[in-house]
Amino acid sequence: MLEWYVTQGAKHTLALVPSALREPMGLWRRSRAVLQAETWTRERIRAERVQRLNRVLSRAVRHVAFYREHAPGGLPLRTVEDLQHWPVVDRSTISERIDEFRSDCLPKWRTRGGATTGRSGVPLGVRWDWPGALWWEHAFHRRLFRWAGLPKGFRRVILRGGLVHGPRGPESRWWQVVPQHRALVLSVFQLSHATIEPYVRAMARFQPHALLAYPSAAAKFARLVRERGLSLPPLRAIVTSSESLLPEDRAIIEETLGATATDFYGHAERAVAAAQCEHGSYHVFEDYGYAEILDAAGEPVLPGAVGEIVATGFHNRAMPFIRYRTGDHAAFSPDGCACGRAFRVLSILEGRPPEYLIAHDGTRVALRFGLGSAELGGIEELRFFPRAPGVAEIRYVCRAGAAAPSNLLDSLRIRTGDAIDYRLVRVDRLHAGPGGKAVLVDRSEYRP
């Protein structure tokens, strides 16, 4: 309990320092570069794309074992079409040979790591160079917030995957103020009919400018607000990310919360990003990474045709993702956008639909758990098999000689409480899901 109060006191003390003094020079320079890139012409974008690809590829050949062995040569690239000679990689390939994809150009203390399961159920340990990649990510988020019409230093309510707790643990409080970020963090795991009124009262006291949320969480929040007939403080914007924003969810979010939803598309792998501008068009961030759209044979598709997004990131020296298969599908628009920016526009974006389980009370529990390497260590793949409302079997495959982490079930229960009863089953292999696709939730055996 004492540690909790000390941590909160440090956060409030840090918030007293003016933001201009807390901002590192590296972040300021990157934010200025991101702002300037919005004025690039198409010719400038093409030139920058080749230059940045050459920088990423040449560094990978020198410092990444996989590319020392598999790079086709021919550097520097003369055009982006030359990139098609480089191998396309997917999550499974990287996960199986993870050490071969990590760069040796940085000492370990200059990197930070995390784990993501995505929607395939294959855990992937990702490393980012620190603090450079973190600063770049913050700079691109500032672009997103500008496009959403938010002022610098805006007050935000966050309804995403972070664990929130008070001095006596997760059940003592379901929200937390983070003053140095001007944020009120609400626990998505305790969001329910029983907690919606305290959540709304906390928002009323905080007086936020915006809500930052998973689409599924924002939609659930809006439905609960509507059912209870509650009044919210006025919002300038709603910013969603990490899942597909379905049309029916957008409608109830905007109608109930009284603001326009601006959607962001990105990955923990940080190879590709896109966001909606003021006119609602999804623009690829051309200064973030290079996005290709390929058909099943690995060939580029024409504008208007749907294919898989394959991406090469520009800003992660610790673990470069080159021609990485995202598993998401999209189509480039043959037209530009009325906003005047030269960034390419996605006319169709079929990203990640929210994965969920059904709780005992019939509500949906989104599988945005934010599990890290401590919970997933030793697991090569896992999949949820719903058995009944509130009951799910977790089948998992471990590396040879490895045991399943003993705290996996405890970590899940912290995030979902009593909403779901889990049963762990270790298997030698998980077969492809329905339609031959890798999935996180397999409903093929579900019999309601």
* Domain ranges for the chain: 21-136+266-350, 149-259, 356-436
In the predicted model, what is the mean pLDDT of residues 271-292? 96
Asked whether the predicted pLDDT for residue 396 surpasses 60, the reply is yes
Asked whether the predicted pLDDT for residue 102 surpasses 80, the reply is yes
CATH architecture of 356-436: 2-Layer Sandwich (3.30)
Residues near 169 by beta carbon (within 8 Å), at least 6 away in sequence: none
Asked whether the predicted pLDDT for residue 336 surpasses 50, the reply is yes
Locate tokens 């923990």: which residue?
Answer: 268
pLDDT of residue 172: 46
pLDDT tens digit string along 68-77? 999 998 899 9
**CB-based contacts of 344-348 (< 8 A; 24+ apart in sequence):** 344/283, 344/284, 344/286, 344/291, 345/281, 345/282, 345/283, 345/284, 346/274, 346/281, 346/282, 346/283, 346/284, 347/304, 348/306
pLDDT of residue 167: 47
pLDDT of residue 368: 62
In the predicted model, what is the mean pLDDT of residues 11-27? 59
- Residue positions counted in the chain: 448
pLDDT of residue 329: 92
Asked whether the predicted pLDDT for residue 15 surpasses 50, the reply is no
Locate tokens 């000689």: which residue?
Answer: 401
441: left (phi over 0), alpha (psi -120 to 50) or beta: beta
DSSP-assigned states of every residue in 301-343: PPTT--EEEEEEESS-SSS---SEEEEEEEEE-SS--TT---S
Asked whether the predicted pLDDT for residue 290 surpasses 70, the reply is yes
For all residues of the chain together, what is the average pLDDT?
Answer: 85
pLDDT of residue 157: 95
In the predicted model, what is the mean pLDDT of residues 418-446? 73
Give percent above pLDDT 70 in the chain: 83
21-136+266-350 CATH fold: Rossmann fold (3.40.50)
Task: Name which of 281, 261, 284, 282 is nearest 273 in CA terms.
Answer: 284
What is the distance between the alpha carbons of residues 202 and 200, in angstroms, rounded to a whole number?
5
- Which of 81-95, 138-152, 167-181, 269-283 shows the lowest mean pLDDT across its residues? 167-181
Q: How confident is the model at residue 411 (pLDDT cuts 50, 70, 90)?
A: confident
In the predicted model, what is the mean pLDDT of residues 245-250? 88
Q: How confident is the model at residue 3 (pLDDT cuts 50, 70, 90)?
A: low
Q: Are residues 174 and 187 in contact, defined by beta-carbon separation less than 8 angstroms?
A: yes
CATH topology identical between 149-259 and 356-436: no
pLDDT of residue 17: 45
What is the distance between the alpha carbons of residues 233 and 327, in angstroms, rounded to a whole number?
38
Q: Are residues 116 and 269 in contact, defined by beta-carbon separation less than 8 angstroms?
A: yes
CATH class of 149-259: alpha beta
Tell me which DSSP letter residue 174 carries.
S
Q: Are residues 49 and 76 in contact, defined by beta-carbon separation less than 8 angstroms?
A: no
pLDDT tens digit string along 344-385? 999 988 876 667 788 887 777 777 655 555 556 677 777 888
pLDDT of residue 16: 43
Q: How confident is the model at residue 1 (pLDDT cuts 50, 70, 90)?
A: low
CB atoms inside a 10 Å sphere around CB 308:
20
What is the distance between the alpha carbons of residues 428 and 364, in angstroms, rounded to a whole number?
30
Q: Which helix H or strand E contains 41, and what residues bound it?
A: none
In the numeric block, which tokens belong to residue 392? 């799910």
Selected residue with higher pLDDT from 408 and 41: 41
Give the best-scoring range by mean pLDDT among 9-13, 316-320, 425-429.
316-320
Selected residue with higher pLDDT from 181 and 260: 260
pLDDT of residue 39: 96
Q: Are residues 440 and 117 in contact, defined by beta-carbon separation less than 8 angstroms?
A: yes
Selected residue with higher pLDDT from 107 and 359: 107
- Which of 21-25, 129-133, 374-378, 429-433 shows the lowest mean pLDDT across its residues? 374-378
CA atoms in the 13 A half-sphere facing the CB of 93: 12
Asked whether the predicted pLDDT for residue 332 surpasses 80, the reply is yes
pLDDT of residue 375: 58
pLDDT of residue 21: 47
Selected residue with higher pLDDT from 224 and 439: 224
Asked whether the predicted pLDDT for residue 401 surpasses 70, the reply is no
Asked whether the predicted pLDDT for residue 437 surpasses 70, the reply is no
Q: How confident is the model at residue 86 (pLDDT cuts 50, 70, 90)?
A: very high
In the predicted model, what is the mean pLDDT of residues 60-82? 94
